[in-house]
Amino acid sequence: RFTPSFTANRPSPLLADLPEVKAALDASGASDEGDEARLLARLRPLSETERRRTLVNLVLRETAAVLGYDDASRLDPQTGFVDLGLDSLMAVEVRRRLQRETGLTLPATLVFDHPSPQHVADLVYDNLAPALGVSAEEGHEESARVTVDGHEPIAIIGVGLRMPGGILDLSDLWNFLHEGHEAVGPLPPSRWNIDEFYDPDPESKGHSYVREGSFLEQIDQFDPAFFGISPREAKNIDPQHRFLLEAAWEALETAGVVPSTLRDSMTGVFVGLGPSDYDHLRQGPGEAYTFIGTQTSFAAGRISFSLGLQGPAFAVDTACSSSLVAFHLACKSLRNHECDLALAGGVQILAAPDVFVQL
């Protein structure tokens, strides 16, 4: 059963001379050729739109079967395989079934390189296109790459932000500065009990000699369903990551960019942030989402994954200059044509008292 999968990418000397393996590979090859011919016969009389729809339905059907669903219509082709519930073993099975149905040799990393049923269907179409008498690019919207001079100014077209003092957008920030308000205030009671860590003596170890600072409010407020995140995963996500996700969405809104139009675009994500202290608040053993919810590198990846972006995505920690470095790298990436659009920003939230006391 697993012989075609083990030898899909390269021949296996260990298995090559076994009679059972030879028979399995011969049968698999003959079956694949027949399956591809049957699929092509179904697709040839159809329009391009109908062909693509047929392939999407094929991918959804096989994915649903692996997930144990009788009805493939309950699956959204735009939703990522991971969000649909696939694990790594299921991913192997989806690939095997699709190879059987299409007769194509698909990459071992199929559902990771093409992370949704729609992406996989597009790949299958591109592979079948020559046999259907069309170019692989036909039906794809060509994106014109603009040549940018290395010294041409880069425009900031949208902003999303959260700042101490109840500042939620640029208008709030302007009014705050214009009216001369103060952003330093008491520690929000939802963080920790300041009385336990306060001592007016600067020499007192393990204590802070200040009670106030510049704090963001409502760091526990987040709408996971809006981003297709389960409640269980959301509670394990560092508030810093949540705020970045919300701010990225709002930046696109203020720029007049519909987020869904950026799917598969060369849009980069560059964020500056330090180590997470959110995990310090966890009680009991960690869950499956604990690691990806608190590790710095996932802050940028989550934004990129949620929006379906294909540009570079990474987080940098250079202490106090993290956000500045993130912006610098975003500009450099744009000028080097590594991305056509960039989301750049930074965040710092003290969720636990440790850093506050040390500062």
Q: Which amino acid is at 345?
A: G
From the CB of residue 87, how many other CB atoms can be counted at a distance below 10 Å? Answer: 9
Q: Is residue 112 part of a domain?
A: yes
Residues 209 and 307 in one domain: yes
Residue 190 — pLDDT band, cuts 50, 70, 90? Answer: confident
More confident position, 231 or 144: 231
In this model, does residue 309 exceed pLDDT 80?
yes
Residue 356 near residue 208, CB atoms below 8 Å: yes
Residue ranges with strand state E in 204-275:
212-213, 267-272
Residues 191 and 319 in one domain: yes
| 76 class by beta-carbon count within 10 Å (0-12 exposed, 13-18 middle, 19+ buried) | middle
Indicate which CATH number applies to the domain containing 319: 3.40.47.10
Instruction: Return the pLDDT at 143.
Output: 40
In the predicted model, what is the mean pLDDT of residues 295-323? 91
Instruction: Return the pLDDT at 283.
Output: 63
In this model, does residue 328 exceed pLDDT 70?
yes
Model pTM score? 0.67
Measured between alpha carbons, how far is residue 233 from residues 175, 228, 229, 244, 286 in Å?
36, 10, 7, 16, 12
pLDDT digits (tens, 9 = 90+) for 251-274: 999 999 999 889 889 999 999 998
Domain final position from 132, 148, 180? 132
Quote the radius of gyration of the chain (alpha carbons, Å). 26
Residue 239 near residue 351, CB atoms below 8 Å: yes
Residues 176 and 306 in one domain: yes
Residues 67 and 183 in one domain: no
Residues 88 and 194 in one domain: no
In this model, does residue 235 exceed pLDDT 60?
yes
For residues 329 and 299, give the distance between their C-alpha atoms in angstroms, rounded to a whole number.
16
Helices (H), 103-195: 110-113, 117-132, 170-178
> Helices then strands (H, E): number in the chain?
15, 5
**What three-state secondary structure class fits 204?**
coil
In this model, does residue 352 exceed pLDDT 90?
no
Residue 7 — pLDDT band, cuts 50, 70, 90? Answer: very low
Q: Is residue 321 part of a domain?
A: yes
- Over the chain, what is the mean pLDDT? 81
Q: Residue 272: beta bridge partners?
A: 316, 346
In this model, does residue 89 exceed pLDDT 50?
yes
Residue 158 — pLDDT band, cuts 50, 70, 90? Answer: very high
pLDDT digits (tens, 9 = 90+) for 47-63: 888 889 999 999 999 99
Residues 198 and 119 in one domain: no
Tokens of 221: 């407020």
Q: Is residue 25 part of a domain?
A: yes
Secondary structure element (H or E) that encloses residue 236, with its range: none
- Total domains in the chain come to 2
**What three-state secondary structure class fits 226?**
helix
Residue 178 near residue 208, CB atoms below 8 Å: no
Q: Is residue 156 part of a domain?
A: no
For residues 316 and 311, give the distance between their C-alpha atoms in angstroms, rounded to a whole number.
16
Q: Is residue 153 part of a domain?
A: no
For residues 2 and 108, give the distance between their C-alpha atoms in angstroms, rounded to a whole number.
13
| 251 class by beta-carbon count within 10 Å (0-12 exposed, 13-18 middle, 19+ buried) | buried
Instruction: Return the pLDDT at 133.
Output: 78
For residues 144 and 266, give the distance between their C-alpha atoms in angstroms, rounded to a whole number.
12
Residues 241 and 324 in one domain: yes
Instruction: Give the domain range for residue 277.
Output: 170-358
Residues 57 and 191 in one domain: no
Domain final position from 105, 132, 159? 132
Q: Is residue 165 part of a domain?
A: no
Highest mean pLDDT among 5-9, 41-45, 334-338: 334-338
pLDDT digits (tens, 9 = 90+) for 194-208: 777 777 877 778 777
φ, ψ for residue 38, nearest 5 deg = -65, -40
Residue 39 — pLDDT band, cuts 50, 70, 90? Answer: confident
In this model, does residue 146 exceed pLDDT 90?
no
In the predicted model, what is the mean pLDDT of residues 320-331? 94
pLDDT digits (tens, 9 = 90+) for 112-127: 888 889 889 999 998 8
**What three-state secondary structure class fits 344?**
strand
